[in-house]
Chain A
Amino acid sequence: MVDETDRPGHHVGTKEMISCTGIKKTFGDFVALHGITTSVMEGEVVVIFGPSGSGKSTFIRTLNRLEEHDEGKIVIDGVELNNDLRNLDKIRSEVGMVFQQFNLFPHLTVRRNITLAPMRVRRMPKAEADRLAERLLERVGMPEQIDKYPAQLSGGQQQRVAIARALAMEPKIMLFDEPTSALDPEMIKEVLDVMRELAQSGMTMIVITHEMGFAREVADRFLFFDEGRIVEEGTPEHFFENPREERTKLFLSQIL
């Protein structure tokens, strides 16, 4: 990463937060990941893009073990991800995830959506969790919605609550799995604004997105996935100015 330039407002550290070596994953006969090797530094923002079915979603889901990898080694903040349940609990509470379909809990208010995990997992007292929820909703710009149910909110608002919910566990790493793909165009910006602020605050982030303008602005590094492999890797400038691989060029020409 010699040619790495720091994005405005945040600084890439020297500590390795995520280290993956030869991650393989198969679903029956289908090989989803053909051995992914990469690492992510503290404070780094990595954007992953690629055609659907390229394994990018499977890859970030292995990072908090929503998918179990078949081979290879994943180390998150110094803890190896394996069948040791204590490790898994530790890692999951340090890695926040935001989903394409928001996955808010429909039977709980916004407040309860945010406070449930801190209260259950971290044993946080209710009053403290409530204050945390208020602070986080302030941060994502919707403090007045705290007692509504998810169904009463727009898609953009729901996704912002989902981000606040993940942040409530005070994660060191945030994973975003196509966070704006299910949104109407006019709501995409409000979610990207929150993510931009998060990136500038120094959060380590892996983001799957095809919002290339946003990606270029916040990312330190791009990973282009195709057929379960990292086809090309580099700075946003590298990808926008002279991508090396034919597949990368073709894909970029289709989405830009």
Chain B
Amino acid sequence: MATIVRTSPTPILRRARRWAKDNLFGSVGNTLLTVVTSAILGFVLYQILRFVFITAEWEVIETNRRLLFIGRFPAGEEWRFWPTIFVASALAGLTWGLWSRLEWQAAMILAAALVPVFAFFAHGELALLTAAAVALAVLGYGLAQLWLTGSGYSAAARQLVMVGWVITFPLTIFMLLAFGGVDPSLWGGFYLNILLAVVGIVVSFPLGVLLALGRTSSYPVLRVASTAYIELIRGVPLITILLMTWLVLPIFLPSIAVPVLAPEGLDDMELTYRVMVALVLFSAAYVAEAVRGGLQAVPRGQIEAAQALGMGTFSVLAFIILPQALRAVIPALVGQFISLFKDTSLIFIVGSTDLLKAGRAITQGQIEFSSQEKEVLLFVALVFWVVAFSMSRLSQRLERTMGVGER
């Protein structure tokens, strides 16, 4: 007892000292490295903190929050966003709760990043709506954790949530176009980035899988066509493809009217839709290459075992090959989708006003904020980062719960 009392205050300190000695000051080189790195880190951190809390003038964000997030979307039409945001928050909470457990580290980092976002944007009615969205997410998570996980309903709940996600996408488009609708050329801000990314991911994924199957197919025509497409797209910068869909694509498309998408004819499609097409076509080629890697990783014996059981080509593909192939390439796919999300900021090149373009427009068009470029850029970067980081964490989660690497 006495020894414990005597030694108990010191071990932590002593352990800390030993850890520092082992890891930071183990040798002369190590010590030097520690000192230099700390100096650089300290300097950078000091500069950042000084800028964020002292030098920077953040009113530019607060004043322009609307432009940054929804661009030139007409006033009085904001209600179109909220149904989808509510559904998506609830689904996000449910998904998080059903497939995994709250990770405190990630949650805290995200919360910290969200604080300034809230500070600037949550006033009045918006505060209530935002709080409602957050509450729905928390509710979904709580419901999933306390109630559904481990119960007999969890499998059914997971299926429902997946169906929900699939429905969210058409719901979003419906809410933007129905009841009078808002012209796609007026969609903008961060909402446009998200929308383009979601369309790109949702559509390019199945397309990419088909291309990968085409490229590995034994039918020469399919193989050559898929390979040619993939290599063609991968050899051209996205900016070029965006410009081509703007300027060149109309020449090749017939003037056939397609309801909703192109009422004036395909050759006169809304620019926003053309950008979506470009992103989908671009992303599909990269998805295809990632998936092809997964297809090649499925052992021959798996296919033989399924064939020996009498399973046909479609069943073998749908139940044996694809589930294993896709599981193996989750990290690569999510990496591709994160790039796609960030690449949506390139659409300024065809004149759309996304988050980045809105930010540039503020400092260029509003004289009172013309010197706040740094603040705006920092804010834009933060918003992109929050989403990209969440996607990356989600991918790590998926890898673990789906048992990547277990064979």
Contact = CB atoms under 8 A, between A and B. Distances in A.
**What is the interface residue range for chain B against chain A?**
20 to 34
B301 interface: yes
Nearest to B324: A107
B308 A105 contact: no
Given A101-B301, A103-B302, A106-B324, A151 B407 contact: yes
Contacts of B327: 107
Nearest to A65: B307
A117 B310 contact: yes
B315 interface: yes
A231 to B, nearest CB: 27
A120 B311 contact: yes
Contacts of A169: 309-310
Contact of B323 (A95, A96, A107, A166): A107
Interface in B293-340: 299, 301-302, 304-312, 315, 319-320, 323-324, 327
Contact of A105 (B302, B307, B310, B312): B302
B166 to A, nearest CB: 22
Contacts of B305: 97, 99, 103-105, 162
Contact of A120 (B301, B315, B324): B315
B406 interface: yes
Contacts of B320: 105
A66 interface: yes
Most chain B CB within 10 A, of A92, A95, A104, is at A92
A95 to B, nearest CB: 7
Interface in A101-142: 101, 103-107, 116-117, 120-121
Given A106-B406, A120-B315, A151-B407, A93 B310 contact: yes
Contacts of B406: 106, 149, 151
A99 B302 CA distance: 10
Contacts of A89: 310, 312
Interface in B102-119: none
Given A99-B301, A105-B302, A106-B406, A92 B308 contact: yes
A121 B309 contact: yes
Interface residues of A, number: 25
A195 B304 CA distance: 21
B307 A66 contact: yes
Contacts of B324: 105-107
Contacts of A64: 307-308
A160 interface: no
Interface in B39-98: none
Nearest to A162: B305
B284 to A, nearest CB: 25
B301 A165 contact: no
A173 to B, nearest CB: 11
A92 B309 contact: yes
Interface string A75-107: 000000000000001001101110101011111
A141 to B, nearest CB: 21
A104 B304 CA distance: 11
B301 A117 contact: no
A95 B302 CA distance: 17
A103 B301 contact: yes
Interface string A206-235: 000000000000000000000000000000
A96 B308 contact: yes
A100 B50 CA distance: 67
A120 B406 CA distance: 26
Interface in B361-406: 406
A117 B312 CA distance: 10
A82 to B, nearest CB: 16
Contacts of B301: 99, 101, 103
Nearest to A93: B310
A86 to B, nearest CB: 11
A106 to B, nearest CB: 6
B308 A95 contact: yes
A58 to B, nearest CB: 13
A162 B320 CA distance: 15
A66 B407 CA distance: 23
Interface string A150-185: 010000000000100110010000000000000000
16 contacts: A64-B307, A64-B308, A92-B307, A92-B309, A93-B309, A99-B305, A101-B301, A103-B301, A103-B304, A103-B305, A104-B305, A107-B323, A107-B327, A116-B309, A121-B309, A162-B305
User: 6 tightest CB-CB pairs across the interface, nearest first?
Assistant: A93-B310, A103-B305, A117-B309, A97-B308, A92-B310, A103-B301
Interface of A: 64, 66, 89, 92-93, 95-97, 99, 101, 103-107, 116-117, 120-121, 149, 151, 162, 165-166, 169
